[in-house]
């Protein structure tokens, strides 16, 4: 099975205001606060050690960094530092090197960074210890190189109102306003860390004890020297007790397969024609068996389908609903339960965000099921599916006349079985 991984060309060097930087291999994590919003959990442990499915939240971040090619992590600690240091040690257990810089528990974040400045590389990745976002570092680095600015923050688009906005972006996704207090009218996305920063940015560090974001991001934005990397993939947090259930669902990473419909489950009709009723439906040979095998192996099945026939008047939304009810019933009768169906009813030129190759339906499924799209497979049959997967940093596999959904499923399950025995 040929699974396509989302890739971006890696520009080896970034030119920023007369200085040249290599892709960072060091991550710096702000992890020193008292975590008062997480009490009583943080009465005897700092916030990065909040357990998620039996493991400290920080451990998920460090594993992610190692997988994305980082070699060194600098933890900026304050509150109960020994709890973190005793657990992680020098980092060798997790496959990288960990250093520590400890300041007073009530120091603000700019002081933590200033205290450790001699340990920080000229170009580094900055994280908050309470946010996790499924980063593709090469995508971040590509954007940073193209922007040519001393700093770049990752911004959750927040189209769903998940949190309160803190930034305003221009048409090129550069940050024009950063407002930590969230009082400026027109704030859009949410700054979630995963920031690439340079020593040029750190030159703005003040002598007084203040918040790092206000000391660095606010003036950089005012000076038009702060880029944004905008993502529609939801981030997950241990910043408050209320966010814990969703974070645990996300970290559980329940097996899910996203599946296109026409050409994967049913035989694709000719171009500009549509399957409008059940008497026009024809299952691809083996498709129902594939869905049953996936269910048996613990996979959730989610359908992602363009259905422009509604916009073109070939069928109604009720027609599509009736067809899908029959499809689900026949599939479920042989053990292939379909968890959800997302469809785009719009036409080619309607300018919606959901019609593939745009990734809107993938992101909707991500939010509804708390998926990690970077670990989720989307199976399609044409370039629009592939482009949607790439835009969402989603794994992708394509069916063909030589390789059906059943063939892909058997290969996937066979590889999983081999992995269990290795």
Task: From the candidates 107, 260, 385, 393, give the one annotated as an active-site residue.
Answer: 260
- Which secondary structure element, helix H or strand E, spans residue 190, and what is its range? strand 190-191
Pair 21, 14: CB distance under 8 Å: yes
Q: Which positions ≥6 away from 53 have C-beta within 8 Å?
A: 248, 251, 252
What is the rounded (10 degree) CA torsion for 195, 198, 202, 203?
A: -150
Task: From the candidates 130, 262, 319, 381, give the one annotated as an active-site residue.
Answer: 262
CA dist., res. 371 & res. 380, Å (int): 18
Assigned token pair, 26: 């060091």
**Which residues share a beta bridge with 195?**
126
Residue 262 annotated as catalytic: yes
List the one residue out of 105, 241, 232, 223 whose CA is nearest residue 174: 223
Q: Is the peptide bond before 348 cis (omega within 30 degrees of 0)?
A: no
Q: Is 13 exposed, middle or buried (0-12, 13-18, 19+ CB in 10 A)?
A: exposed
Distances (CA, A) of 247 to 79, 131, 361, 371: 23, 10, 21, 10
Q: How many CB atoms within 10 Å of residue 357?
A: 15
**Which residues share a beta bridge with 72?**
26, 97
Assigned token pair, 235: 């981030």
Question: What is the length of the chain?
Answer: 422
Assigned token pair, 325: 């009810």
- Which secondary structure element, helix H or strand E, spans residue 45, and what is its range? none
Residue 106 annotated as catalytic: no
The span from the first CA to the last CA of the chain, in angstroms, equals: 19
The SS3 call for residue 274 is: coil
Q: Which positions ≥6 away from 151 have C-beta within 8 Å?
A: 195, 196, 197, 198, 200, 201, 216, 217, 220, 225, 226, 227
**Which residues are catalytic, by number?**
260, 262
């Amino acid at each position: 099975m040929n699974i396509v991984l989302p890739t971006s060309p890696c520009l080896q060097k970034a030119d920023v205001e007369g200085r040249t930087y290599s892709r960072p291999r060091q991550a710096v994590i702000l992890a020193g606060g008292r975590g008062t919003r997480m009490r009583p959990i943080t009465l005897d442990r700092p916030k990065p050690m909040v357990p998620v499915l039996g493991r400290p939240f920080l451990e998920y971040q460090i594993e992610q960094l190692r997988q994305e090619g980082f070699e060194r992590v600098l933890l900026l600690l304050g509150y109960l530092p020994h709890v973190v240091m005793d657990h992680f040690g020098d980092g060798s257990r997790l496959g990288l090197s960990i250093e520590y810089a400890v300041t007073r528990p009530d120091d603000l974040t700019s002081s933590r960074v200033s205290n450790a400045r001699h340990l920080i590389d000229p170009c580094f990745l900055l994280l908050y210890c309470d946010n996790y976002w499924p980063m593709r570092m090469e995508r971040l680095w590509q954007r940073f190189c193209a922007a040519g600015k001393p700093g770049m923050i990752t911004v959750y688009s927040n189209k769903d109102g998940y949190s309160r906005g803190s930034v305003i972006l221009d048409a090129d996704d550069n940050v024009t306003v950063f407002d930590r207090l969230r009082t400026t009218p027109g704030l859009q996305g949410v700054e979630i860390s995963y920031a690439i920063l340079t020593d040029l940015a750190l030159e703005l560090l003040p002598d007084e004890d203040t918040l790092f974001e206000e000391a660095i991001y606010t003036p950089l934005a005012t000076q038009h020297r702060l880029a944004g990397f905008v993502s529609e993939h939801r981030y997950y947090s241990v910043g408050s007790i209320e966010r814990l259930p969703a974070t645990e669902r996300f970290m559980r990473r329940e097996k899910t397969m996203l599946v296109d419909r026409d050409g994967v489950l049913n035989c694709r009709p000719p171009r500009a024609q549509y399957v409008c009723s059940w008497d026009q439906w024809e299952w691809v040979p083996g498709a129902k068996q594939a869905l049953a095998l996936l269910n048996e192996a613990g996979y959730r099945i989610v359908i992602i389908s363009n259905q422009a026939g509604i916009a073109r008047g070939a069928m109604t939304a009720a027609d599509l609903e009736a067809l899908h009810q029959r499809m689900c019933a026949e599939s479920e009768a042989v053990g292939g339960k379909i968890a959800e169906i997302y469809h785009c009813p719009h036409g080619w030129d309607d300018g919606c965000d959901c019609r593939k190759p745009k990734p809107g339906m993938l992101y909707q499924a991500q939010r509804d099921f708390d998926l990690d799209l970077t670990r989720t497979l989307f199976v399609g049959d044409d370039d629009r599916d592939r482009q949607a997967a790439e835009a969402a940093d989603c794994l992708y596999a394509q069916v063909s006349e030589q390789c059906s959904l059943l063939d892909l499923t058997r290969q996937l399950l066979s590889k999983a079985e081999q992995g269990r025995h290795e």
